[in-house]
Amino acid sequence: MRGAKIMSQASSPKAMSQSKPNPFENALEQLRIAAEYLKLEDGIHKMLASPKRQLTVSVPARMDDGSVNVFTGYRVQYSDVRGPCKGGIRYHPNVSLDEVKALAAWMTWKCSIADIPFGGAKGGVICNPKSMSQGELERMTRRYTAGIADFIGPYRDVPAPDVYTNAQVMAWIVDTYSSLKGYMIPEVVTGKPVPLGGSLGRDKATGRGAVFCTVEAAKVKGMDLKKSTFAVEGYGNAGSNYAELLQAHGAKLVAASDSKGGVTSKAGIDAVKLNAYKEKTGSVVGMPGTQRIDDNQLLQSEVDILCPAALENAITPDIAKGVKAEVIVECANGPTTPAADKVLDANKVFLVPDVLANSGGVIVSYLEWVQNLDRISWPEAEVNSRLEAKITGAFKEVHQTSQKRGTSMRTAALIVGVGRVADAIRTLGIFP
């Protein structure tokens, strides 16, 4: 490293917009509401409000021009009382410790709601992956993996892809971790390429699971999907797969957006063609036959179903007041603030919360982990069938809890998820 130019991303763009609520405070407020319904003991409530372990690592990586950039990475293990920690790794300029803590908390409840034997975790690196080459991303990923290697493992903490990470990033993590341990350990992560033990169906699992939830929500609301319109905020992996799969049920996509802007068309947008257009141009903006709109306009579109599939805090109280959708299905993590929830509840919007709606990814990650541990592989049809059974079962349990308790679907989901984790803590006790 002699003579190398040293740069740092420790002081990246502001980690939290001053106009947006702190995501971990949102998570704690949701926990507080669930705790009131569950009448949680004060000690258990305090334990559930505190991540078990928080790790911050410096991640030096050589850039293509020979300079060395020092990135900041995080890994938060929120709870492991129901099994190994589980959660994705995201690469984004606005990653912060509080964001990662919130995401780890939501993963804890999500795994519990789906009733799979995992706790919750999350990781992230402050970086702008869109401005980095493949080589730079690989070198950064490998160094980040080395930094957290003593804290992850198949029976301890199992990472997965998240925002701006993918199967290739998981492959680099597998190779780095396995090299450090001295033998091949593909089950250290999920969401891997299929040749490395990745599960068939994992790439579309989050979107597919959200569609299964949408089908169930349509039944509850008496909606005919073949006559329904929908909009997707965040046309990435989850959002685009959701659009293609829901379109196959007969629903019509009329608006979509990504980080560069949004498009709309009352006549409808072919989701498959839109995905191909984005792959070619890098954005949905400019899709022939569409008009440009911004995110706020999309979120308040005249649609039957709204799918926020981007980042947290998209739906604020001001946005919520103008939401016209009858059903919201949250593909993103934490897209709706607690204050906005109150507005949507008052307006009788049926919201399928993130901890249920986007759990398809972690459900199939669990199935991938099981296949890896047993060194077996299931056909895609079996994986999809197991996913459908698991997520629709969770939806029905949450909806029944909502009806019984007279609460929103989000509160009902948290009652189920937080309740199971609390039961595990009571049963285990506190050592020593």
Q: Residue 8 contacts by C-beta under 8 Å, 6 or more apart in sequence?
A: 69, 70
Q: Is 122 a catalytic residue?
A: yes
Q: Are 10 and 318 spatial neighbours (Cβ–Cβ below 8 Å)? A: no
Nearest Cα to Cα of residue 162 among 128, 201, 219, 123: 123
Other CB atoms closer than 10 Å to residue 248's CB: what's the count?
Answer: 12
Q: Within 10 A of 93 (CB to CB), how many other CB atoms are there?
A: 16
252-258 vs 229-233, strand pairing mode: parallel
Q: Where are the beta strands (DSSP E) in 216-313?
A: 229-233, 252-258, 261-264, 291-293, 305-308
Helix, strand, coil % in the chain, rounded to nearest 5: 50, 20, 35
Q: How far apart are CA 34 and CA 313, in angstroms?
A: 20
Q: Among all chains, which residue has been given the structure tokens 């995992």?
A: 118
- The catalytically annotated residue of 101, 122, 278, 390 is 122
Tokens of 289: 């036959």
Residue 291 neighbours by CB under 8 Å, 6+ apart: 263, 264, 265
Within 13 Å and on the Cβ side, how many CA atoms surround 86?
30
The two structure tokens encoding residue 162: 């998240």
Q: Can you tell me the distance from the alpha carbon of 75 to that of 173, in angstroms, rounded to the nearest whole number? A: 14
Active site residues: 122
